[in-house]
C-alpha cells in the first residue's frame, strides 16, 4: 500500500518498526565490531609478551658462554652495556603499548556490556539477571583480584625485565670501572647505563603511580 494512503497511526507504527530494526542492526554491528577488536587486542598483547620473553631468553642464552670472558675484556663490557640499553628501549616500548591496550580493552569491554544490558533490559519478554552476564559482578577473588588478571601480569613481567636489566647494567658498569678501562669506553658505558636506568625508572614510576587508575577495578578482566 502506498505511504500516501496510510493513516497517521499506521505511518507512525511503520516508522517506529523501521527505526527499531535499524537500531537493532546498528547495535548488532557495534557488538560484533567490539568483540572482534577485543579479541584482536588480547592476541596482540600476548604477542608483545611473547616477543619480550623471546628477546630475554635469547639474550640469556647468548650471555652464558660469554660470562667467563666479560671480566677480561673492556670492549666486551662496552658491547654488553650498549646491548642492555637497546634491550631497555625495546622492553620499554613494549610496556607502553601493552599499557595502552589496557585502555582500549576497557573501552570495548564497556561497549559490549552496555549493548548487552540495553538489549536485555529493552525487551520485556526477556527476564534475565544482568549480574549473571557481567563477569565483573562476580565475587570470586580470582576474578576480582587485580593480581590474577592477565593485563596486570603482562605489565608486571615487563617491569620485572626492566628492573633486572638495570641491575645487570649496574654490574657491567662497575666491572668496567674495576678493570681500569680507557676513558672513552668508560664514558660510553656510563651513557648507556644511564639510558637503561632512565627508561627503567620512568616505566617503574609510571607503573607505581598509575597502578590504581580509573580502569583498575573496572577492567579489563582478561
The per-residue pLDDT for 211 is 65
Q: Do you know the residue count of the chain?
A: 222
Higher pLDDT, 64 or 214: 64
Is pLDDT of 216 > 50? Answer: no
191 is a domain residue: yes
125 is a domain residue: yes
12 is a domain residue: no
137-165 pLDDT tens trace: 445 555 555 666 788 889 999 999 999 99
For the chain, the domain total comes to 1
Do residues 151 and 42 touch, judged by C-beta distance below 8 A?
A: no
Do residues 203 and 132 touch, judged by C-beta distance below 8 A?
A: no
Higher pLDDT, 199 or 22: 199
The per-residue pLDDT for 212 is 59
Question: What confidence tier does 74 reach under pLDDT thresholds 50, 70, 90?
Answer: confident
221 is a domain residue: no
23 is a domain residue: no
Nearest to 70 by CA among 161, 148, 169, 143: 169
10 is a domain residue: no
Nearest to 75 by CA among 65, 87, 66, 86: 66
For the chain, state the CA radius of gyration.
27
Nearest to 133 by CA among 123, 154, 119: 119
Under 8 Å CB-to-CB from 207, ≥6 apart: which residues?
95, 155, 159
Cell numbers given for 83: 646491548
Write out the residue range of the structural domain in which residue 196 sits: 31-209
How far from chain centre, in Å, is Cα 173? Answer: 32
215 is a domain residue: no
222 is a domain residue: no
Amino acid at each position: 500500500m502506498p505511504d500516501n494512503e496510510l493513516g497517521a497511526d499506521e505511518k507512525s507504527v511503520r516508522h517506529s518498526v523501521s527505526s527499531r530494526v535499524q537500531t537493532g542492526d546498528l547495535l548488532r554491528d557495534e557488538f560484533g565490531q567490539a568483540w572482534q577488536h577485543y579479541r584482536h587486542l588480547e592476541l596482540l598483547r600476548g604477542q608483545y609478551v611473547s616477543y619480550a620473553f623471546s628477546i630475554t631468553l635469547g639474550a640469556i642464552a647468548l650471555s652464558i658462554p660469554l660470562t667467563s670472558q666479560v671480566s677480561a675484556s673492556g670492549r666486551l663490557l662496552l658491547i654488553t652495556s650498549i646491548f642492555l640499553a637497546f634491550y631497555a628501549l625495546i622492553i620499554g616500548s613494549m610496556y607502553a603499548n601493552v599499557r595502552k591496550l589496557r585502555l582500549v580493552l576497557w573501552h570495548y569491554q564497556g561497549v559490549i556490556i552496555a549493548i548487552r544490558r540495553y538489549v536485555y533490559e529493552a525487551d520485556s519478554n526477556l527476564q534475565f539477571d544482568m549480574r549473571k552476564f557481567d563477569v565483573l559482578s562476580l565475587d570470586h577473588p580470582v576474578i576480582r583480584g587485580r593480581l590474577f588478571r592477565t593485563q596486570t601480569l603482562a605489565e608486571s613481567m615487563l617491569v620485572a625485565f626492566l628492573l633486572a636489566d638495570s641491575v645487570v647494567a649496574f654490574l657491567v658498569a662497575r666491572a668496567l670501572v674495576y678493570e681500569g678501562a680507557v676513558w672513552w669506553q668508560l664514558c660510553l658505558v656510563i651513557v648507556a647505563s644511564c639510558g637503561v636506568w632512565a627508561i627503567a625508572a620512568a616505566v617503574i614510576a609510571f607503573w607505581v603511580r598509575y597502578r590504581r587508575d580509573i580502569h583498575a577495578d573496572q577492567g579489563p578482566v582478561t
